[in-house]
Amino acid sequence: MSQQGYVAAPPYSQAQPGIGGYQGGFGAPPAQPLYGHYGGPPQGFNAPPAGVMKSPPTSPAGMPPSPVSSQYNPSVQQNGAHPQRYASPSAASPPYGQPSHSVYNNMASPAPPTQQLANQMSAMNLGSYGAMQSQPLPPTSSVAQQHFQTPAPAMGQPQMHPAPQAPHMASQNQMSPPQSPLTNMLASGQPMGGQSMAGPPMGGQSMAGPPMGGQSMAGPPMGGQSMAGPPMGGQSMTGPPMAGMNMPFPGPPPSGQGAFQQHGTGPAAPSGYPQQSGQFGGLMSGPQPGMSGGFPGTSGGLAGPPQKKLDPDSIPSTTQVIEDDKARLGGHVFSTNMRGQVPPLVTTDFTVQDQGNASPRFIRCTTYSLPCTAELAKQCQVPLASVIKPFAKLPKNETPLYVVNHGETGPIRCNRCKAYMCPYMQFIDGGRRYQCSFCNCVSEVPVFYFQHLDHMGRRVDFYERPELSQGSYEFVATLDYCKNNKPPNPPAYIFMIDVSYTNIKSGLVKLVCDELKSLLEKLPREDGAEASAIKVGFVTYNKVLHFYNVKSALAQPQMMVVSDIAEMFVPLLDGFLVNYQDSRAVIYNLLDQIPDMFADTNESETVFAPVIQAGVEAFKAAECSGKLFIFHSSMPTAEAPGKLKNRDDKKLVNTDKEKTLFQPQKGVYEQLSKDCVAQGCCVDLFLFPSQYLDLASMADVPSHTGGSVYKYNNFQVKTNLYVLLLKLATRFFAQCRVCDPPGFRATDFFGAIYMNNTTDVEMAAVDCDKAVTVEFKHDDTLSEESGAFMQCALLYTTISGQRRLRIHNLSLNCTSQLSELYKCCETDSLINFFAKSAYRAILNQPVKNVRDILVNQTAHMLACYRKNCASPSAASQLILPDSMKVFPVYMNSLMKTAPLVGSTELSTDDRAHQRLSVMAMGVEDSQLQLYPRLIPLHNVDVSREAVPDPVRCSEERLSDSGLFLLENGHSIFLWLGQASPPDLIQSLFNAPSLAHLQQEHMFTLPELDNPLSKKVRTIISELLEKRPNSMKLQIVRQRDKLEMLFRQFLVEDKGLHGGASYMDFLCYVHREIRQLLT
Ligand SMILES: [Zn+2]
């Protein structure tokens, strides 16, 4: 087989024409394929570079905290609506220079009330996260099951065919503990269940069957079924792939067998992941025959006896990983004093103590141990990336960043590479000079900055200077850092409301005007300031623009109309941007009048680009930066720059031209983005569409200026439960630069950003939820001894108009051992990177290629681990690194997301919207998006404060008599089982039974005075408050039509619009890994 593997299955040994390798980015394909696996000789797996050691069969004690997964950490809450939390650190903390020992030391003590464990923690060796025993192996033969232990199936759920006990499993485990529980995942005796393996994970677009219907059927192997049906059509659960843990997998079927034919053939072969080598760099030539990823031969290997049902509990569980991490690290203090420490998961509640490295709230990495060489990176294909959320909110018990002010001198920087003073600079020569850790250049210490060194060679003022002892801090910038060397004016907000016919008639305009009144009261201000320095202005528009003079001296606001929308100008300067406090009366007057002013309008056409242009011009005139809040409903079809036309075409889905659906229309919006960034004009867009409006084009400016797009489909004022969530607290006119160590450089950036050159990220504004994902590549060999340093410097304007630099530093380990690299991976960050890179890639190539590449890379990463790090074991075992145990479920979920799934049933605008919103997400948000929380509420303990633990996102976990909450940061559902007990319905809805629930019940829970109602409403409102987006609660009854909406979030199940179940995907990946290893 192995010979055949090489001979007959060239995909791994030869780059396919036209595919090329990939640079990790999605740019032009490199001349030389970078990754040996895809493009290079097959030896990639056989001959690890010298120095790469297979991991010794060490104990699990060596495992890092398993990264990954999630549960929203309330303390990391990103809710843009709380401007006051943006307290200027300078006010909240002693002026820089003061933080003495005690300041740092006592950070450990303020244990959050929810975290009593912190006391215990203070005594423990904080640096030992990586060395903590993860989970002792249970001694009994039930070990196999325990490893995959998940919460008991939801109420009333029968346990599905438990996996047979494996008498010899325990010993097997002990033989190869490093591989984590997954070691035990033996494939069953049936060749990976022809049906499950054969189906391409994503092939199922055409699946029409009831989504999960037959899941519990344990039918015989159904060759014919899968042939006829969509690749994954055959009920995944019927396949026994994982069932008998003690049954050795008989090895992959001969390559001639139907199921695997695709591997052995060239480009002409129907589909076949292996051929999609390389990553997103190359272009596939021509469409793949065999529908959406084919997998035509599904009958192969199905001749076996009827197969037993697979136990869903036997595969790694995200909720379990999350719970384990919480149990292990929840409530602890994470002290950032060690290089390359893997932090707790984003879902774990922990306290960060900055001791020289940036908090994981600001920077997370795909791995905390970088491969020393490019070859090693190429071999494992683990992307090397950081997800930087520069203004992440800190919980109240963590110290805000210190602000360092060097006065007129400004921040101290390396003479050569311009890196900012940081804990990694080495002082030498008695403290008179320092050596830059980024470029090794030696610079003189300025006289005012001189300080003696102690016996350790450390400056004696080490603890008094944040820039020497902290991972994150800020510098006050000098005029050199200001535009035109002038101090910036405070920023301004302009509210721009579409007052065309539909919006007036629907009541939206009135709603927005009413909401604005209360929002204006919350304008952010610097700590200690009496009023906000931010100025505000108002514009309404349809085919023309109306500017308002709201100068405080006026009794009535005055309107000025600009109808020459081709040459946008601002008709008034004085009185347009005003101080809210001074002009409050006039502004209230205006907001009261606007709905009436346009009550009789017949104008249904709107403009859009001129509206943004007007904002830019206004900021230009006022010489300030700022933000536009635009409330808009329809496609801008009026004759004007940026006019759009309907180009929605479902026929393009699953063709080479599908990418055009995601591409913005060229021209006007491109230039507008540039103008906006140059002026520091960020655009937040609130859309209330009732039909297609070309979101890809309309969102182009927001997605390049650090803005957000909020989309409220079929918005109805009377059932309105949305809160317009305006991110008022924002930093402006930001430029971000990442300094790399020698041998390593940032090559690609993902986010709501604009790149004028290849190194400087520009954002007109940045808020607490926006993250930039940065990919790194080797230039040279990294040193294991010195490690790697990263510095992210962000120059920005505060809400009061002060220019500052925010610096985040992080040091990582470097290793020549793959096992170390894998040990330090973080699944949540990996998936954030993969999501963003895939979502960018679909702008340039067919969605199917992108999915194939994702699967390929998943298999390669895991195969490389198996090959180089795992101790020898049966080929039938699926072995996953502990840190990536649940990586496959996230990857599969990603491939089932709307942008990647390629279904004509999905709205083009929704797909484009999801694509763009993920691009700007931090790790917490992407984790939640890809693995929603499914929280059982029917058995909630009303006396406990905590939210019940989520269960796995699968129909298996639902029960007819259950009540579940599901939420992913964008949508929130309350699902009612059809046999919900009447008293439960009574308590929540004041109705005798489900059948009595009326339409008006479906969007809100009445405020009833009983413990259950209160508890459920509290849980929901807490979730709503935490999320960066506003979410509209939808109540669905089992078997209602709406249930389909709910079910698409059950990401472990087969996708409603295509895509494999988790189980099938895992089987498929396993098969791919085995192919790679043969
Ligand atoms: Zn330097």
Concatenating the DSSP letter of every residue in 901-956 gives H--TTS-HHHHHHHHHHHHT--HHHHHHHHS-EEEE-TT--TT--SPPPPB-SSGG
Beta strand 369-371 pairing with 803-815: parallel
Cα–Cα dist 353/336, whole Å? 6
> CB of 332 within 8 A of CB of 117?
yes
**How far, in Å, from the CA of 73 to the mean position of ligand 1?**
37
Is the predicted pLDDT of residue 118 greater than 70, yes or no? no
φ, ψ at 196 (rounded to 5°) = -75, -40
Are 707 and 752 within 8 A, CB to CB? yes
Name the token pair of 541: 């528009």
Query: In the numeric block, which tokens belong to residue 2?
Result: 């192995």
Per-residue pLDDT for 739 more than 90?
Answer: no
> What three-state secondary structure class fits 295?
coil
What is the Å distance from ligand 1's center to 98 Cα? Answer: 27
Show the 3-state SS of 705-736: CCCCEEECCCCCCCCCCCCCCCCCCEEEEEEE
Q: Length of the chain in residues, anyone?
A: 1078
How much is the pLDDT for 727? 63
Q: How far is the CA of 717 from the centre of ligand 1 (A)?
A: 57
Q: How many angstroms separate the alpha carbon of residue 427 from the centre of ligand 1?
A: 13
Give, for 546, the enclosing helix (H) or strand (E). Answer: strand 545-549
Q: Quick one: pLDDT band at residue 147, thresholds 50, 70, 90?
A: very low
Confidence of residue 483 (pLDDT cuts 50, 70, 90): confident
197 Cβ neighbours under 8 A, 6+ residues apart: 191, 239, 241, 259, 301, 1067, 1068, 1070, 1071
- Residue 573 carries which DSSP code? S
1054 Cα to the center of ligand 1, angstroms:
51
* Whole-angstrom distance, CA of residue 515 vs CA of residue 598: 18
Report CA(420)–ligand 1 centroid distance (Å). Answer: 8
Mean pLDDT of the chain: 75
CA of 562 to the centre of ligand 1 (A): 52
267's tokens: 């480009």
Beta strands in 265-413 (DSSP E): 333-335, 351-353, 363-365, 369-371, 385-388, 403-404
DSSP, collapsed to helix, strand or coil, labels residue 797 as strand
Flag whether pLDDT at 284 surpasses 70: no
Residues forming a β-bridge with 776: 746
The helix/strand/coil state of 1072 is helix
Q: Ligand 1 centroid to 439 CA: how many Å?
A: 4
- Please check whether residue 818 is in contact with residue 60, taking contact to mean a CB–CB distance below 8 angstroms: no
CA of 424 to the centre of ligand 1 (A): 11
Query: What's the 771 CA to ligand 1 centre distance in angstroms?
Result: 26
CA of 739 relative to ligand 1 center, distance in Å:
9
**731 Cα–ligand 1 center, Å:** 27
Domains of the chain: 318-401+736-896 (2.60.40.1670), 403-469 (2.30.30.380), 499-730 (3.40.50.410), 932-1050 (3.40.20.10)
Report CA torsion sign: 119, 120, 121, 124. positive
Distance 418 CA to ligand 1 centre (A): 6
| Average confidence (pLDDT) over 724-749 | 76
Cα(143)–Cα(168) distance, integer angstroms: 10
321 close to 277: Cβ distance less than 8 angstroms: no
Ligand 1 center from residue 743 Cα (angstroms): 13
- The rounded Å distance from CA 976 to ligand 1 centre is 60
- Ligand 1 centroid–CA 446 distance in Å is 16
SS3 247: coil
Let me know: does 912 contact 987? Beta carbons within 8 Å. no
Q: Where are the alpha helices (DSSP H) in 699-844?
A: 818-823, 827-841
Contacts of 445 (CB under 8 A, 6+ apart): 427, 431, 432, 433, 434
CA of 592 to the centre of ligand 1 (A): 57
Which of 831, 823, 865, 828 lies closest to 65, judged by CA? Answer: 823
Ligand 1 centroid, distance to 411 Cα (angstroms): 14
Beta strands in 954-1074 (DSSP E): 963-967, 972-976, 1033-1037
φ/ψ region of 706 (left if φ > 0, alpha if ψ in -120 to 50, else beta) reads left
Q: Give the pLDDT confidence score for residue 939 in this predicted structure.
A: 87
Distance from residue 425's CA to the centre of ligand 1 (Å): 9
The pLDDT confidence band at residue 101, using thresholds 50, 70 and 90, is very low
Say if residue 255's pLDDT is above 50.
Answer: no
Position 970 pLDDT exceeds 80: yes
For ligand 1, the distance from its centroid to the CA atom of residue 413, given in whole angstroms, is: 8
Q: How far apart (Å, rounded) are the C-alpha atoms in residues 1063 and 1053?
A: 8
428 CA to middle of ligand 1, Å? Answer: 15
Q: How many CB atoms lie under 10 A from the CB of residue 81? A: 17
Centre of ligand 1 from the C-alpha of residue 440, in Å:
6
Q: How crowded is residue 432: how many other Cβ atoms within 10 Å of its Cβ?
A: 13
Residue 740 alpha carbon to ligand 1 centre in Å: 10
Give the pLDDT score at 946. Answer: 82
* Cα–ligand 1 centroid distance for 753 (angstroms): 26
Ligand 1 centroid to residue 792 C-alpha, Å: 14
Q: Is the pLDDT of residue 873 over 50?
A: yes
Q: How far does the centroid of ligand 1 lie from the alpha carbon of residue 421, in Å?
A: 10
How far apart are the CA of 390 and the centre of ligand 1, in A? Answer: 22
Q: How far is the CA of 442 from the centre of ligand 1 (A)?
A: 8
- The position carrying tokens 């005594």 is 123
Burial of 737 (0-12, 13-18, 19+ CB in 10 A): middle
265 touches 272 (CB < 8 A): yes
Span from the CA of 466 to the centroid of ligand 1 (angstroms) = 19
Cβ neighbors of 1048 (< 8 A, separation 6 or more) are 1055, 1056, 1057
Q: Is the pLDDT of residue 552 over 80?
A: yes
- Give the Cα separation of 357 and 349 in Å (integer): 19
Centre of ligand 1 from the C-alpha of residue 621, in Å: 39
b/e for 885-923, b at 16 or more Cβ within 10 A? bbbbbbbbbbbbbbbbbbbeebbbbebbbbbbbbbbbbb
Give the distance (Å) from ligand 1 centre to CA of residue 706. Answer: 29
Q: What is the pLDDT, as a whole number, of residue 12?
A: 27
CA of 760 to the centre of ligand 1 (A): 17
Query: Cα(764)–Cα(439) distance, rounded to whole angstroms?
Result: 30
Per-residue pLDDT tens digits for 662-688: 999 988 999 999 999 999 999 999 999
- Where residue 491 falls (left for φ over 0; alpha for ψ -120 to 50; beta otherwise) is beta
Those residues whose C-beta lies under 8 Å from the C-beta of residue 7, and which sit 6 or more positions away, are none
Residue 683 burial (C-beta neighbours within 10 Å; 0-12, 13-18, 19+):
buried
* Å from CA of 435 to ligand 1 middle: 8
pLDDT at 719: 56
User: What is the distance between the alpha carbons of residues 616 and 321, in angstroms, rounded to a whole number?
Assistant: 48
791 Cα to the center of ligand 1, angstroms: 11
11 neighbors 274 (Cβ within 8 angstroms): yes
Residues with CB under 5 A from ligand 1 (ion): 414, 416-417, 419, 436, 438-439, 441
Q: Residues 139, 145, 151, 153: is their CA dihedral positive or negative?
A: negative
Residue 32 — very low, low, confident or very high, per pLDDT cuts 50/70/90? very low
- Please report the pLDDT score of residue 942 as a whole number: 85
pLDDT value for 723? 54
- Ligand 1 mean position, distance from CA 372 (Å): 21
Q: What is the DSSP letter of 887?
A: H
Distance 793 CA to ligand 1 centre (A): 14
Please, what sign has the CA dihedral across residues 890, 334, 472, 444? Answer: negative
More confident residue, 653 or 21: 653
Percent of the chain whose predicted confidence (pLDDT) is above 90: 53
Tokens (6 digits) for 796: 């920005």
Give residue 303's pLDDT.
32
| Beta pairing partners, 186 | 877
Compare 226 and 545 and report the one with higher pLDDT: 545
Q: Ligand 1 centre and the CA of 429: distance in Å?
A: 17
% of residues, the chain, pLDDT over 70: 70
What pLDDT, on the 0 to 100 scale, is given for residue 56? 33
pLDDT in tens, 1005-1036: 899 999 999 999 999 988 888 887 778 888 99
Residue 589: phi, psi to the nearest 5? -55, -45
| pLDDT band per the 50, 70, 90 thresholds, residue 137 | very low
